[in-house]
Amino acid sequence: MRYEFVIIGAGVAGIFAALELKKKRRQVLMIDKGKMLEDRVCPCGQNTEGNGDTGDKYIGFGGLGLSEGKFNYTNDFGGDLAHQVGDEQALELMNDVDQVLTTHGANRTEMYTTYDPELTALAQEAGFSVLSTKTRHLGTDLSRMVFRAFYEELKVETDFCFQTEVHTITPQAAGGFQLILEDGEVVSADTILLATGRSGNEWLARQCDILGIQRGETRVDLGLRIEMRGNQLQAILRHSVETKLRYEGHGYSATTYCMNPRGRVILKKQEGLAMPDGQNYRERKDGGTANLNFTLFVPSFFPSLAEADRYLHDVVGTINRGRSRIAAQRLRDLRKPRSSHSLGSDREACSIIPTLDAEFTDLRSEVPELYIRATLEFLDALERLIREPIDQETILYAMDSKLYSPGIKTNERFETQIPRMFAIGDCSGTTHSLSQAAASGLYVGRLLSTEPHLGKIPWAF
């Protein structure tokens, strides 16, 4: 079978590119190793192990967009799209992403902004910078409805191939590509869009090695997830439901991530590892908790994906001890010169009750010193900002992570060094968020949809 465009990966980048190509009635095939939307089970990290590893939460139609559907429209964080297309155009593209979302049902939830000039000024005095964004947070149920609308629109003229992996990609001398799928089927394409996300890193690394595509350094963010009293940050959350703070310490930069007022700390399984994650209160029907949680991430950079993955598994795997073990400790104990064990037997007597089952222990004996130091220094600065002590019953869980793809060298059109092969979304290493990934797909889809048809190619196989 021959197509003008083959999109490998049906996450947000691939979907937004396909929507643009469909407007011009271009011939498109989307291939994804995951399942169709209706077959995906996306538990969003219940406090049970379940099957929440690679399977349905990260791959399949919609990709990670089905998790909580949080679209942050900003150049302050979430990737380097602005470096690729310019600040103004990046914001315009993200605005267009939101328009696409709302025309497919996302307007059922309101957009909010975290911009607070008063907080920005106070934060600077305490040593922080504030990263601001406009956000449309869909939640899992609304995300599923929106992506169902995307699928219904695309399926009319777009072909899909789910639960299938591309085995080999071979550029052809006459132009275009030959793809051999894992079942032996042969597909030909004029143009390929790689949109495999972070979860497709292993597959993409093999293809890049075969095709001679160079990849850059890899970033890994690791940090403790912090669960505190729900009203602890009310002094800085008067005008917004969340904020993102960055603190520059000696030899590190630490940034808050995934702040969940009234939320829970939940278990996630990724890369064969168990980690604490955050769940927004909107994902449950019980109105939420009395706590607030977020992760404090410290980034590290490695020359290769293999070295980054090895570090991740060394740190988190050691804590897991071959099972889904999460380590935790109260702030009062971590702050002692010589940490003592708090076994959690007094959980009912404490002002902050943990929302995730964890093994209370001495984190200093299990977590690299960098992350302990960054957390304690951050919390000291946070006390200066909110002008009150952090509750000593605050719980620290080890270790959360955010994974990135190595950068792929592309031109301003997201085209790799192989002509007619493009890398969009998080697999490119340029975007790190749903909004920027979608915007990159929109951008490339528009460029390619306006090109003339390449015409018949004399395929020689």
Same-domain status, 62 and 198 = yes
Query: What pLDDT is recorded for position 455?
Result: 60
pLDDT band at 57 (very low <50, low <70, confident <90, very high): confident
Averaged over 296-301, what is the pLDDT?
98
Residue 359 parent element (H or E) = strand 359-360
Same-domain status, 269 and 170 = no
Flag whether 121 is in a domain.
no
Query: What pLDDT is recorded for position 426?
Result: 96
pLDDT band at 48 (very low <50, low <70, confident <90, very high): very low
Q: Which of 257, 248, 400, 260 is nearest to 319 (CA)?
A: 400
Same-domain status, 427 and 363 = no
For residues 112 and 109, what is the distance between their CA atoms, to the nearest angstrom?
A: 10
For residues 13 and 32, what is the distance between their CA atoms, to the nearest angstrom?
A: 13
Flag whether 459 is in a domain.
no
Same-domain status, 188 and 49 = yes
Residue 80 sits in a domain whose CATH number is: 3.50.50.60
pLDDT band at 58 (very low <50, low <70, confident <90, very high): confident
pLDDT of residue 282 exceeding 90: no
Query: What pLDDT is recorded for position 349?
Result: 63
Same-domain status, 189 and 245 = no
Query: What pLDDT is recorded for position 345?
Result: 44
Q: In the chain, how long is the greatest CA-to-CA distance?
A: 75
Query: What pLDDT is recorded for position 43?
Result: 52
Same-domain status, 212 and 222 = no
For the chain, what is the mean pLDDT?
92
Query: What pLDDT is recorded for position 68?
Result: 81
Q: Give the N- to C-terminal CA distance of the chain in Å, as an integer.
A: 12
Same-domain status, 154 and 302 = no
Averaged over 128-132, what is the pLDDT?
97
Q: Which of 74, 81, 100 is nearest to 15 (CA)?
A: 100
Query: What pLDDT is recorded for position 346?
Result: 52
Averaged over 103-123, what is the pLDDT?
95
Query: What pLDDT is recorded for position 350?
Result: 82
Query: What pLDDT is recorded for position 322?
Result: 96
Query: What pLDDT is recorded for position 52?
Result: 43
Query: What pLDDT is recorded for position 315?
Result: 98
For residues 181 and 160, what is the distance between their CA atoms, to the nearest angstrom?
A: 13
Instruction: With H, G, I as helix, E, B as strand and everything else as coil, classify residue 295.
Output: strand
pLDDT band at 190 (very low <50, low <70, confident <90, very high): very high
Flag whether 443 is in a domain.
yes
Same-domain status, 30 and 16 = yes
Rg (CA), the chain: 23
Flag whether 308 is in a domain.
yes
Flag whether 413 is in a domain.
yes
For residues 32 and 30, what is the distance between their CA atoms, to the nearest angstrom?
A: 7
Q: What is the tens place of the pLDDT at every residue in 328-377?
A: 999 999 999 765 555 454 555 688 999 999 999 999 999 999 999 999 99
For residues 284 and 263, what is the distance between their CA atoms, to the nearest angstrom?
A: 9
Same-domain status, 31 and 105 = yes
Residue 306 parent element (H or E) = helix 305-320
Beta bridge partners of 272: none
For residues 180 and 346, what is the distance between their CA atoms, to the nearest angstrom?
A: 59
Burial class (CB in 10 A: 0-12, 13-18, 19+), 52: buried
pLDDT band at 44 (very low <50, low <70, confident <90, very high): very low
Q: What is the tens place of the pLDDT at every residue in 224-246?
A: 999 999 999 999 999 888 999 99
Same-domain status, 336 and 238 = yes
pLDDT of residue 207 exceeding 90: yes
Q: Of the ranges 28-37, 334-343, 388-397, which one carries the lowest mean pLDDT score?
A: 334-343
Instruction: With H, G, I as helix, E, B as strand and everything else as coil, classify residue 35.
Output: coil
Instruction: With H, G, I as helix, E, B as strand and everything else as coil, classify residue 152.
Output: helix
Flag whether 178 is in a domain.
yes
Provide the domain count of the chain.
2
pLDDT of residue 187 exceeding 60: yes
Flag whether 457 is in a domain.
no
Flag whether 131 is in a domain.
no
Query: What pLDDT is recorded for position 458?
Result: 40
Judge contact between 26 and 5, C-beta under 8 A: yes
Return the HEC string of 383-419.
HHHHCCCCCCCCEEEEEEEEECCCCECCCCCCECCCC
What is the model's pTM?
0.90
Same-domain status, 394 and 246 = yes
Q: Of the ranges 47-51, 150-154, 312-316, 333-337, which one carries the lowest mean pLDDT score?
A: 47-51
Same-domain status, 140 and 43 = yes
Instruction: With H, G, I as helix, E, B as strand and everything else as coil, classify residue 186.
Output: strand
Domain carrying residue 354: 218-403
